[in-house]
Copies of this chain bind each other. A is one copy, B any other.
């Protein structure tokens, strides 16, 4: 979370003038997104509305992939999903440039991110995730998942056992587990465009209603059941991964299946998919942990949180998804 770039009022006003949104009224840099800078922008209003998120793509994101991400927002929004649409400028462009960096103006959606979801909220998330999967079937673009099980195994094996063990006792064992999960990874499951990072931070809620799914910058084509497994792992634990909240996990599954019942092969694969989901975050967090100076003013996310979740799936197996 950061704002990496300063934008003056003059620059912002000139940008806003390219859209049918009226004049600039307010712009606040917001602490969202780890790889982008974001501003909450308000205007006097026009055909496209009066409140927006302005995103500047700073790093990690390949601007060649922006049409995939921004088009996906438009596709899902048009399908009635609570996803912010991309505001196009007067010439129809979905993105523009400021000082050589790509920027996009995105619809602002209300809602807040819950800290400890209730079963009713988890059920709502499951249902909207399934609706999103169904809606992506008619989306014409694709993008490969570069953070799959092979990548997790490769990232972990790129560090020494000693450095991983320095973070946490159970972490070195994840190297072998990641290799096993990659080798056993299920093939042939029904695919779609998946969010692949649907943490509570990326869901806006008003009470028990999902008002927004945001931050699609890890979206890619992959098994839909894997996205469900990621979401299950992200939502169903408390106490830094130490406590499994069965009532939340069960409600998430029930919500998903109320819209899109799982095929038998998907259900059978879920424990392994959930292990893979955990290892995806274990590996990226371990990498960032070892890559970030301890005194840097960023919050390093503890990879052990997802080691504990992994162990729950490893020992609980199919029983967790019965």
Does A40 count as interface, using CB distance less than 8 angstroms?
yes
Partner pick for A11 among B8, B11, B115, B204, CB 8 A cutoff: B115
A29 touches B31 (CB 8 A): yes
Does A111 count as interface, using CB distance less than 8 angstroms?
yes
Assuming the contacts A8-B114, A113-B9, A296-B297, asked whether A2 and B31 have C-beta atoms less than 8 A apart, the reply is yes
A29 touches B26 (CB 8 A): no
Assuming A9-B112, A11-B115, A28-B40, what are 17 further A-B pairs, CB within 8 angstroms?
Answer: A1-B29, A2-B31, A3-B31, A8-B113, A8-B115, A9-B113, A10-B116, A12-B112, A24-B112, A25-B112, A26-B110, A26-B204, A28-B31, A29-B32, A40-B40, A293-B293, A296-B296
**How many residues in A have their beta carbons less than 8 Å from beta carbons of B?**
35
Distance in Å: Cβ of A123 to nearest Cβ of chain B: 17
Report the bound CA distance from A105 to B105 in whole Å. 28
Question: Secondary structure at chain A's binding surface: helix, strand, loop or mixed?
Answer: mixed
Does A27 count as interface, using CB distance less than 8 angstroms?
yes
Question: Could you mark each residue 103-139 of chain A with 1 if its beta carbon is under 8 Å from any beta carbon of chain B, else 0?
Answer: 0000000111111100000000000000000000000
Indicate the member of A11, A12, A112, A115 with the most B CB atoms within 10 Å: A112
User: Which chain A residues numbered 280 to 322 have a C-beta less than 8 Å away from chain B?
Assistant: 293, 295-298
Does A205 count as interface, using CB distance less than 8 angstroms?
yes
Does A98 count as interface, using CB distance less than 8 angstroms?
no
Number of copies: 2
Indicate the member of A12, A27, A30, A110 with the most B CB atoms within 10 Å: A30
Assuming the contacts A12-B112, A112-B9, A293-B295, asked whether A30 and B30 have C-beta atoms less than 8 A apart, the reply is yes
Assuming the contacts A3-B1, A42-B110, A293-B295, asked whether A205 and B9 have C-beta atoms less than 8 A apart, the reply is yes
Does A206 count as interface, using CB distance less than 8 angstroms?
yes
B30 touches A29 (CB 8 A): yes
Partner pick for A115 among B9, B24, B40, B111, CB 8 A cutoff: B9
In the complex, residue of chain B having the shortest beta-carbon distance to the beta carbon of A109: B26
A25 touches B115 (CB 8 A): no
User: Which chain A residues numbered 1 to 47 have a C-beta less than 8 Å away from chain B?
Assistant: 1-3, 8-13, 24-32, 40, 42
Distance in Å: Cβ of A14 to nearest Cβ of chain B: 11
Partner pick for A206 among B10, B25, B111, B116, CB 8 A cutoff: B25
B-chain residues with CB within 8 Å of residue A28 when the two chains form the complex: 28, 30-32, 40
Distance in Å: Cβ of A248 to nearest Cβ of chain B: 14
Report the bound CA distance from A31 to B38 in whole Å. 10
Partner pick for A9 among B8, B25, B114, B295, CB 8 A cutoff: B114
In the complex, residue of chain B having the shortest beta-carbon distance to the beta carbon of A29: B31
B27 touches A30 (CB 8 A): no
Report the bound CA distance from A177 to B113 in whole Å. 52
Report the bound CA distance from A32 to B6 in whole Å. 12
B-chain residues with CB within 8 Å of residue A13 when the two chains form the complex: 112
Indicate the member of A27, A31, A293, A298 with the most B CB atoms within 10 Å: A31
Report the bound CA distance from A8 to B115 in whole Å. 5
Partner pick for A25 among B1, B110, B297, CB 8 A cutoff: B110
